[in-house]
Amino acid sequence: MTTQTTPEACTVHGNSVTFDHVSKSFGRTEVLHDICLEIPGGRTTCVVGPSGSGKSTLLRCTNRLEEPTAGRVLLGTTEVTDRVANIDAIRARVGMVFQNFNLFPYRTALDNITLALRRVRKLTSEEAVERARTHLASVGLAGFEHRRPGQLSGGQQQRVAIARALAMEPEVMLFDEATSALDPELVKGVLSIMRDLAGQGMTMIVVTHEMRFAKEAASQIVFLDEGRLIEKADPEKFFGAPESPRLKAFLSAVS
């Protein structure tokens, strides 16, 4: 299902992301508290934690789908949180994959991918279509170009969404519980694409409940609880020798 046909077209260049004392409140509720975190370029960072811990919010601060209340977010040396920065240009450098796929329903798989290529990357129709085909093939969906989201399974939709983000040749990929809405038998295909991508040196921030994926693909794992960064470690230490009681409790609950 996940044949990688043209690795060349998917060669990726990662960039680092820095969270510098990032806080975020919704009204009086503080969902992120003073997060300092370095996401190294070319590596995969998994963010785990109980629901409501602020994982998604942290991820969404990366491309300012959420506006941090305080602190800075940097993409390489670009300050994402700079209010005068062209946020559209920054967002185009960051790919995002959502829990519910969020494909545009009345567009075919191909059109879903070419829209931003033409409008944002200013490719000609032919260039956009060619690049879209390449990326659809790379997620194992050659031949599905003209299907609409409604005619695709959840797993296929999510793979189109991944192709849509990758076609923009982003410097960083964000995955917000990308497999949580999928039937169990469809999770594998999506995870294996993500694993391949990690292997190619894409910078990835992955919010996930898939502990096995975190263990195998991440270079660092971050544990959030109640909006605070509780622990950060490489997979071996994270699962083998967790320090904080809260992480220990979390790990014993999910395993």
Partner 1 sequence: MFDGLRRVWETFFDLDLIGQTLPTMVRVGLLNTLLLAVFASAIGVVVGVVIAAGLLSSKRAIRLPCRMYVDLLRGLPHILTVYLIGQGLPLAGITPFGKSTYGYAALAIGLLEGAYMAEIFRAGFQSVEKGQVEAARSLGLSHLETLRFVVFPTGGRRVLPPLTGQFILVIKGTALVYLLGLTAGQREMFAIAQDAATLHASLSPLVAAGLLYLAITVPMTYAVNAWERRLRDGRKDNLATMDRALAQQATG
CB atoms within 10 A of CB 8: 8
User: Smallest gap, in angstroms, from Cβ of residue 114 to partner 1?
Assistant: 11
Residues 6+ away with beta carbon under 8 Å from 190: 155, 158, 159, 162, 178, 179, 182
Q: Pick from 74, 103, 178, 186 the residue near partner 1 by CB under 8 A.
A: 103
Using CB under 8 A as the binding rule, whether residue 105 contacts partner 1 is answered as: yes
Q: Determine the Cα–Cα distance for residues 127 and 133; give it in Å rounded to an integer.
A: 10
Using CB under 8 A as the binding rule, whether residue 26 contacts partner 1 is answered as: no
Using CB under 8 A as the binding rule, whether residue 120 contacts partner 1 is answered as: yes
Q: How many residues bind partner 1 (CB under 8 A)?
A: 26
Q: Pick from 13, 26, 67, 119 the residue near partner 1 by CB under 8 A.
A: 119
Question: Which of 205/247 has CB closer to partner 1?
Answer: 205
> Residue 185: phi, psi to the nearest 5?
-75, -15
Question: Which of 117/221 has CB closer to partner 1?
Answer: 117
User: Smallest gap, in angstroms, from Cβ of residue 63 to partner 1?
Assistant: 6
Q: Determine the Cα–Cα distance for residues 146 and 105; give it in Å rounded to an integer.
A: 12
Q: Which of residues 130-159 bind partner 1 (CB under 8 A)?
A: 150
Q: Pick from 164, 166, 204, 217 the residue near partner 1 by CB under 8 A.
A: 164
Question: Which of 141/247 has CB closer to partner 1?
Answer: 141
Q: Pick from 98, 144, 175, 238 the residue near partner 1 by CB under 8 A.
A: 98
Q: Which of residues 78-97 bind partner 1 (CB under 8 A)?
A: 88-89, 91-96
Question: Which of 96/152 has CB closer to partner 1?
Answer: 96
> Residue 216: phi, psi to the nearest 5?
-85, -35
User: Smallest gap, in angstroms, from Cβ of residue 120 to partner 1?
Assistant: 4
Question: Which of 39/173 has CB closer to partner 1?
Answer: 173
Between vectors from CA 157 to CA 156 and to CA 160, what angle results, nearest 5°?
Answer: 90
Q: Pick from 16, 78, 100, 200 the residue near partner 1 by CB under 8 A.
A: 100
Identity of residue 236 = E
- Name the site residues for partner 1 (rule: CB under 8 A): 63, 65, 88-89, 91-96, 98, 100, 102-106, 115-116, 119-120, 150, 161, 164-165, 168
